[in-house]
Amino acid sequence: MAATRAPNELSAIEAAQRIASGELTCEALVRACLDRAEARESEVGAFSFLDPKLAIETARRMDQATGPRGPLHGLPVGVKDVLDTDDMPTGMGSPIYAGHRTRTDAAIVAKTRAAGGLVLGKTVTCEFAGAAPGGTRNPHDLSRTPGGSSSGSAAAVADFMAPLAFGTQTGGSMLRPASFCGIVGYKPTYGTFSRQGLKFAAENLDTIGLFGRTVEDVFYFADALLHRPYAPPAPLTRPRLGLCRTFLWEAKAQPEMRAALEAAARQAEKADAIVTEFDLPAGFADLSPARDIINDFERTRSMTWEWAHHREAISPQLTGAIESGLKISFETYAAALRRAETLRRELDVLLGDVDGLIAPCVNGEAPVGLHYTGDPALQGLWTILHVPTLALPAARGPSDMPLAIQIVAPRDSDRTLFALAAWLRDAAGVHLPQPHKGS
Amino acid sequence: MAATRAPNELSAIEAAQRIASGELTCEALVRACLDRAEARESEVGAFSFLDPKLAIETARRMDQATGPRGPLHGLPVGVKDVLDTDDMPTGMGSPIYAGHRTRTDAAIVAKTRAAGGLVLGKTVTCEFAGAAPGGTRNPHDLSRTPGGSSSGSAAAVADFMAPLAFGTQTGGSMLRPASFCGIVGYKPTYGTFSRQGLKFAAENLDTIGLFGRTVEDVFYFADALLHRPYAPPAPLTRPRLGLCRTFLWEAKAQPEMRAALEAAARQAEKADAIVTEFDLPAGFADLSPARDIINDFERTRSMTWEWAHHREAISPQLTGAIESGLKISFETYAAALRRAETLRRELDVLLGDVDGLIAPCVNGEAPVGLHYTGDPALQGLWTILHVPTLALPAARGPSDMPLAIQIVAPRDSDRTLFALAAWLRDAAGVHLPQPHKGS
């Protein structure tokens, strides 16, 4: 089966293995990705910058290179357009930065290249990684949003234009598009990757994360970026899983999301996991307002120059956030930071009884329309807690659109997150079913 | 007395008041600063970029401006050359960034301008805010270092070239130069100012701070940047002060530093403060190695692009730090981050019994020579704890060079830090004595 797949349909790990063994060239892989992009970009619109000539030249140079090869050798990577690249413009999804060139790569981009990765292009971001969409369409249904703000990265990976891509999450900008597009989105523990060369949305929330089509691919990518040899997921026996509906369950989770999460819990239990109800104490309801305060205050701060010089070019959505941020006093902001810090410590303790949590990832399927990328609340709750989270494609909604459950592990327990995701998929059978034919 | 001083010798608050009342023009103030720089720069070398024409034009525009005026209206501000400016190059103290231009201002620079401040020029930084000096001399003794890495900002303020300046502190880069140059250095609670547009040295340590010649000036500046009306220091009655020699006392603090701190404690007691010995528990000795791990790992990370492309242009000092950082595993780094977090929480509790601490600020006077900016250990201890600290000029050493004590307040208690500093100066008489004549 796998042998007949086009190179762009291979997982990152399969592609890396074939390149290492000489079965596949970097050029053939990048050409397959570019061919797919050429066929689909006019509809999907995942890239804000794509230079096929540059990509092919780079791939050829990689094929010819002698000397030691990094773990990402030749793997095409999409880079969200809020991360600097020294050879491509960085547009931030804003007319203010149209054609903007930076002298350097963001640290994480430089690290990708140092590990052999090939920066395929810049992917569409919502304006400044916020709420104003960039026009990307969901590859599963072009009438729907792919989610945001990492819209292009999620769509490119879902649509086989690249095996791997970078996103960032401040509210729900990684896990929501991953769920809407039916791929794996991994937001590591806050601070795992350097943010040098990232234009901040909100400094205390922004987390660089990874997209791939398999759980293994995103951790293979992460290990390469962290300079450690890739280790497959640890096998688990009777994992202890908290079923965490969250205090947003009633207000946010739609029937398909509730059904998907509850089915995953039942499947896990059947596969011998110890599944317990995990309720966040009442104080955790403070997280949503605290996140809003931190988000608005910090976005306003990091947009000081743009607000002073290009106010007219800022979207109504972001203008609203900035006007809200300008009304927040520094004391209110500092208090929200400390409240978040306290809740992080409380969660550290609460998570001592489980290996991890399963939680709703999104409200439901990707909404129809391109003007709104969806509600970040169910993802943003965990972003402010700085815990690692992963979107595991798990179900289909009433319109056959993909839907993920969210896996949550304690801070610094990203390896456990990986093991839980693989266990849920393999032992419990939690994975994305094929679309219903003829429905 | 004050009326006869040249405009560049006025405090920031005095200058702001005179500009507001029409006694002083922005142009006259900036010309006085530029005249001073012209007279002294060939010896002191505080600026990496200074364009008198641009500064005078800006001041004239400010004098002509109608409409509401910000609290910093017309005040010249020195900007450490690791912070982006949209009208001046940002050189990072490195040949790699010679003449480097950025599209935008750093957020804090944009905020300064939005509050009416005049960016006078870029001040010399050690290479990437690290250890390799940029050639600035101590204005009190040209054979000595001004400290680093915020060398130029401290020297410019001390030498009356600017009333205010920005620095950054990752180890001891604000408070050490403040002590060596005899001015006030204020490192706020970690995260107080946005770091958008700052080239990171080490993301979990880097703190933007302020230099001025008076305690009031730095908090006047801070209040303007935080959009709140300036409030003078709260009057204190019987402040509770912990005398914290730290676990580095024996190894680091020289006789003049010990004498200065103990004299300050005696003076405070005489002025009716409740002074108690404050010993950090033994576990706090972990702070120094944790800071080294975080510093080296994060500096290495944020230098990924430069290391890949311009390794030969990196100083031996920074090369050493990067080579050390490359050997640190991600797990060791993450453990150091969590250890620091735990110690921060412990300190929060310990500081519940006092209003603040007085501690040694530096090992001793500014060392002779320009090849080494001094030991960051006594400042760096507090940087990793994220608490606000202030260098209060307090004494002179055996060579008549200035020496500060360090005041420490709990996180988010920056207003208490201000009140303690003013109290120590006014009620306890802790201030820099005039040089000994003829000694």
Q: What is the mean pLDDT of chain A?
A: 97
Considering only alpha carbons, which residue of chain A is nearest residue B305?
A110
Considering only alpha carbons, which residue of chain B is nearest residue A330?
B226
Per-residue confidence (pLDDT) for residue B306, from 0 to 100:
98
CATH class of A2-225: alpha beta
Cβ separation of B203 and A194 shorter than 8 Å? yes
Query: How far does B1 lie from chain A, in Å, by closest CA?
Result: 38
Q: How confident is the model at residue A380 (pLDDT cuts 50, 70, 90)?
A: very high
User: Shortest CB distance from A114 goes to which of B195, B304, B412?
Assistant: B304
Considering only alpha carbons, which residue of chain B is nearest residue A333?
B192
Cβ separation of A337 and B191 shorter than 8 Å? yes
Interface test with A, best of B196, B227, B322 (most A CBs within 10 A): B196
Catalytic-labelled residue, pool B11, B80, B187, B302: B80
Catalytic-labelled residue, pool B48, B150, B153, B173: B173
**Chain B residues with a Cβ under 8 Å from any Cβ in chain A:** 86, 97, 100, 103-111, 113-114, 189, 191-192, 194-197, 199-200, 203-204, 226-228, 298, 301-306, 308, 326, 329-330, 334, 337-338, 345, 411-412
Asked if residue B402 lies in contact with residue B393, where contact means CB atoms within 8 angstroms, the answer is: yes
Per-residue confidence (pLDDT) for residue B4, from 0 to 100:
77
Residue A143 pLDDT > 70: yes
Residue numbers in A near B195 (CB within 8 A):
200, 203
Domain ranges of chain B: 1-439
- Architecture of B1-439 per CATH? Alpha-Beta Complex (3.90)
Residue A359 pLDDT > 70: yes
What is d(CA B199, CA B81) in angstroms, rounded to the nearest whole number? Answer: 9
Considering only alpha carbons, which residue of chain B is nearest residue A203?
B194
Q: What does the pLDDT look like over A201-221, one tens digit per residue?
A: 999 999 999 999 999 999 999
Q: What does the pLDDT look like over B150-208, one tens digit per residue?
A: 999 999 999 999 999 999 999 999 999 999 999 999 999 999 999 999 999 999 999 99
Residue B437 pLDDT > 70: no
Q: Would you please indicate which residues of A are annotated as catalytic (active-site) residues?
A: 80, 149, 173
Average pLDDT of the segment spanning B281-301: 96
User: Shortest CB distance from B412 goes to which of A204, A306, A338?
Assistant: A338
Residue B438 pLDDT > 90: no
Asked if residue B148 lies in contact with residue B171, where contact means CB atoms within 8 angstroms, the answer is: no
Consecutive H or E run containing B347? helix B330-350
- The bridge status of strand B389-396 relative to strand B274-277 is unpaired
Cβ separation of B111 and A304 shorter than 8 Å? yes
Asked if residue B194 lies in contact with residue A301, where contact means CB atoms within 8 angstroms, the answer is: yes
Residue numbers in A near B105 (CB within 8 A):
304-305
Q: How confident is the model at residue A180 (pLDDT cuts 50, 70, 90)?
A: very high
Active-site residue flag, B399 = no
Cβ separation of A194 and B298 shorter than 8 Å? yes
Residue B439 pLDDT > 60: no
Q: Is the pTM of this model over 0.95?
A: yes
Residue numbers in B near A203 (CB within 8 A):
191, 194-196
Q: What is the mean pLDDT of chain B?
A: 97
Residue A411 pLDDT > 50: yes
Report yes or no for ipTM above 0.90.
yes
Q: What does the pLDDT look like over B108-150, one tens digit per residue?
A: 999 999 999 999 999 999 999 999 999 999 999 999 999 999 9
Q: What does the pLDDT look like over B62-115, one tens digit per residue?
A: 999 999 999 999 999 999 999 999 999 999 999 999 999 999 999 999 999 999
